Structures are given as C-alpha cells and as structure tokens.
Amino acid sequence: MDYTKNHHLPQWVKSDRIMMDDFNQMCRDIEAGLNKTQSSASSGVTTVQNNLNAAEERLSAQIVQAAQTVQNAALDGLRRAAYNHLYLADVQPGRPQAGLFFQGFDKSSSVSLPGALPCEDYLWTCNGAAALSFSAHVRPTVKVLKDMYGSDTCEATYSLPYSAMLRSLRLHGGYSGNSSANRIKPYTLWIYNTDNDQLLLETRGTFDLGSAGMNISNAFFIPVNRPFHNGNYRFRIKMDKLDFTPSVTFRPSESNCMDIQGLKTANVSATRTITSNEASAGGLAVVHYTTWGAGGSPSMVWDGVNLQPAATRQITNNQGFAVTEAEFRRYGSIPARSSLTLNMACAPGGEVCLYRWGGILF
C-alpha cells in the first residue's frame, strides 16, 4: 500500500486488499481536514468582517474629528476676528455698531455700581474686615506735625486699619494779606507710606482764597480720589507761592477734614444687553481689572449660562494702564438680543479695580 506525500492517505495498488481500518482512518482524516478548513474559513470571514467594522468605525471617528477640527478652527477664527473688531470699535466710539458694546468704569463714563466707589480711571471696591470710617477708625490715629501758621507747609500722620478710598483733605482756618486780584494759589500735595517711606502720591492743585482776609474753610479743599491699603501714612501740603499769610491747620475734630471711606463688599455686578440683527454662532466678552492683597476673580452669566474665563493675560489697555484681561467665550446659537452679567468677586481682605468690559457677537 502506498500513501499520499502530504497527508499520508492510503493509496491502494492492485495487489492490495481493502482493509477496513485503513479505509475508516482515511475517512476520519478527510473529515478532520474538512472541519479544520471550514473552521479556518469561518474564522477568516469573521476576522475580515471585524476588520471591516473596525475600519469603518475608525473612518467615521476620523470624519467626525476632522469635521470638529474644521468647525473649531472656523469658530476660533471668528473669535479672533471678533476680538480684534471689539477693540477697533472701542477706539472708534463715534461709530455705533450692532452686536457689541464696550463700557468704561472711569469717571467720565458716569457708571456707578453698588458696592464700588468711582475714581478717575476705574471703579474701586474692597472687602475689608469692616467698612472703615474716619470717626471710628482714623481720627484717633491722626497726629498733626506742622501747622500752616505763617508758614508754607502743613503736615500730619494717620493710620488705616483697613483699605479705604481717600476722597479729599480739607484744611481749616483763615488767612490775611491776600489780593482779590490774585486769589488763586497753587499748592503741592505729597502722601507717603511711612512703613517704608515710599512716596505714593504727588499732585498739584490750586486754592481759591476768595476775598482778602475772609475766614473760609472751603478755600482749602484738596481732592485726592485715590485708594490706599491698610498701613501708616503721612501727608504734606505746601504752598508753592506764599504771597499771603495763612493761619490754617489740619483739624481732626472737624467732621469734613478727611473724606475717607472703606467698604466691605464681597461682589460687584454689572449687566448689559447686546442687540444684533440676527442670531449669532457665538460671542466673547472681556474684562479689564487689577487686584491687591487677597484679590478677586471675575465670572459671567450670559443668558443664564455660567462662564469662567477661558483665558487671562496681562495687557496695557487703551488708557495706558497695565491690567489683567479676562476673556470669556461662548459657542453655540445666541439670540439677537442677549444679556450679560459680570460678577466681580472680592475676597476678604482684597481689593479690585474695574477699568472696562465689553462683549461682541459673531
């Protein structure tokens, strides 16, 4: 009996007689081979199908990812264009445009917000341990170092237990020897932090003395409008031209000698509405601010959507001040009339200066 080369199947020759064992074994071998081939074929089909399904899923994911990338790139391009457009509109305020606003918090804007005090260039707030007042917190600390009795200088020290806004100083007394034709008298004010002997403020102004020899306390009014942190201070007022005889001093007993105010404000809010001609695909808003001490942080509610800053950066604003810019981004359909509320939190012991904010739809 012969056998096949590869699978050892019996091959009868004429002289062989058919053997049952050989025949049955051959059939079993053929059956096993067919089963193995069928199983391999089924497994191959399954593998191919699985590979096709996986390839389809990968392709679908790649298509979705590519579409999202294109959409994100388009939205980011719109956002960048809107950001630049917002600032271009800010430097051209005489050209009103739909779908945006820019609002300043400086004195010229006449904007007032509950819990904040206006300065020349910003709104100021603080979250002191108490709302500081002159009579309760400052008057007991005042010490007059020099009177302006026949001299050109008045000087005093005082302390602030909490941060406060110093609105004005006022000297009290009289004067003589003034010519009514020359009643405007220039002065210089210096304010120092005596903890480190740092000069914090140097400003010049004029007194209007009015008629000669009159005892007018209002003549010696000195506007300041600056916030100061807790600490120890000294102010010095000097007449730049002494062609009269002053008899004035700083009197802590006078209720109007120092207009100073502290705050205990945890949050300041501002709301604006943006109106456009149609719904938009998104929008952005910016806030300019500075902080001191424990500081504070901005957040925003845009048509009921709570937003945190998507980016913060240090910039020099259009007023020339170094400020923090917080940028808020909102993607998705925004109605043609949209409402934004800025919330500026002020941490305990912190201070915040709000300069400007604005928003735009795109």
Task: Tell me the pLDDT tens digit for each residue of 12-51.
Answer: 677 766 667 667 777 777 777 767 777 776 776 777 777 7
Residues 283 and 314 in one domain: yes
- The residue among 270, 222, 317, 255 whose CA lies nearest residue 125 is 270
Residues 185 and 253 in one domain: yes
Average pLDDT over residues 51-64: 78
Residues 104 and 39 in one domain: no
DSSP per residue, 288-317 = EEEEEET-EEEEEEETTEEE--SEEEEEE-
Average pLDDT over residues 160-184: 86
Structural domain that includes position 47: 2-74
Residue 189 inside a domain? The answer is yes
Residue 160 inside a domain? The answer is yes
Give the pLDDT confidence score for residue 216 in this predicted structure. Answer: 53
Residues 140 and 245 in one domain: yes
Residues 274 and 334 in one domain: yes
- Confidence band for 56, pLDDT divided at 50, 70 and 90: confident
Q: Which residues of 5-24 are buried (b: 16+ CB within 10 A; e: fewer)?
A: eeeebbeeeeeeeeeeeeee
Give the pLDDT confidence score for residue 161 in this predicted structure. Answer: 94
Please tell me the number of Cα atoms within 13 Å of 127 on its side-chain side: 19
pLDDT digits (tens, 9 = 90+) for 139-164: 999 999 999 998 999 999 999 999 99
- Confidence band for 215, pLDDT divided at 50, 70 and 90: very low
Q: Considering 224, 240, 260, which residue would you say is the last residue of a domain?
A: 260
What's the predicted TM-score (pTM) here? 0.75
Q: Check: CB of residue 189 under 8 Å from CB of residue 222.
A: yes
Residue 84 inside a domain? The answer is no
Give the pLDDT confidence score for residue 59 in this predicted structure. Answer: 74
Residues 275 and 189 in one domain: no
What percent of the chain clears pLDDT 70, i.e. is strictly above it?
87
Q: Which residues of 193-224 are buried (b: 16+ CB within 10 A; e: fewer)?
A: beeeeeeeeeeeeebebeeeeeeebebbeeeb
Residues 255 and 211 in one domain: yes
Q: Which residue has the higher pLDDT, 239 or 71?
A: 239
Residue 354 inside a domain? The answer is yes
**What are the distances in angstroms from CA 35 to CA 6, 21, 49, 188, 296?**
18, 21, 21, 108, 76
pLDDT digits (tens, 9 = 90+) for 123-136: 999 999 988 999 99
Residues 18 and 108 in one domain: no
What percent of the chain clears pLDDT 90, i.e. is strictly above it?
58
Please state, in angstroms and rounded to a whole number, the distance separating the CA atoms of residues 277 and 337: 9
Please state, in angstroms and rounded to a whole number, the distance separating the CA atoms of residues 171 and 144: 12
Mean pLDDT of the chain: 87
Residues 252 and 189 in one domain: yes
Residues 133 and 247 in one domain: yes
Residues 245 and 147 in one domain: yes
Specify whether the backbone of 210 is left (phi greater than 0), alpha (psi in -120 to 50) or beta: left
Please state, in angstroms and rounded to a whole number, the distance separating the CA atoms of residues 10 and 21: 11
pLDDT digits (tens, 9 = 90+) for 253-302: 998 999 999 999 999 999 999 999 899 989 999 999 999 999 999 999 99
Please state, in angstroms and rounded to a whole number, the distance separating the CA atoms of residues 208 and 220: 8
Q: Which residue has the tokens 């990968």?
A: 58
**What are the distances in angstroms from CA 118 to CA 5, 108, 113, 210?**
104, 10, 9, 30
Q: Which long-range contacts (CB under 8 A, 24 or more apart) does 136-140 make?
A: 137/161, 137/162, 137/262, 138/164, 138/258, 138/260, 139/252
Average pLDDT over residues 89-99: 74
- Confidence band for 55, pLDDT divided at 50, 70 and 90: confident
User: Any idea what the CATH number is for the domain that residue 309 is in?
Assistant: 2.60.120
Residue 91 inside a domain? The answer is no
Query: Token pair for residue 271?
Result: 């709301």
Q: Check: CB of residue 358 under 8 Å from CB of residue 86.
A: yes
Give the pLDDT confidence score for residue 214 in this predicted structure. Answer: 45
Residue 86 inside a domain? The answer is no
Residues 159 and 256 in one domain: yes
- Confidence band for 95, pLDDT divided at 50, 70 and 90: low
Number of structural domains (the chain) is 3
Residue 82 inside a domain? The answer is no
Identify any residues that bridge with 3 across adjacent strands, giving them in sequence order.
10
Q: Considering 260, 291, 323, which residue would you say is the last residue of a domain?
A: 260
Residue 79 inside a domain? The answer is no
Please state, in angstroms and rounded to a whole number, the distance separating the CA atoms of residues 174 and 127: 39
Grouping H, G, I as helix, E, B as strand and the rest as coil, residue 119 is coil
pLDDT digits (tens, 9 = 90+) for 183-212: 889 999 999 999 999 999 999 999 988 754
State residue 333 phi and psi, 5-degree precision: -65, 130
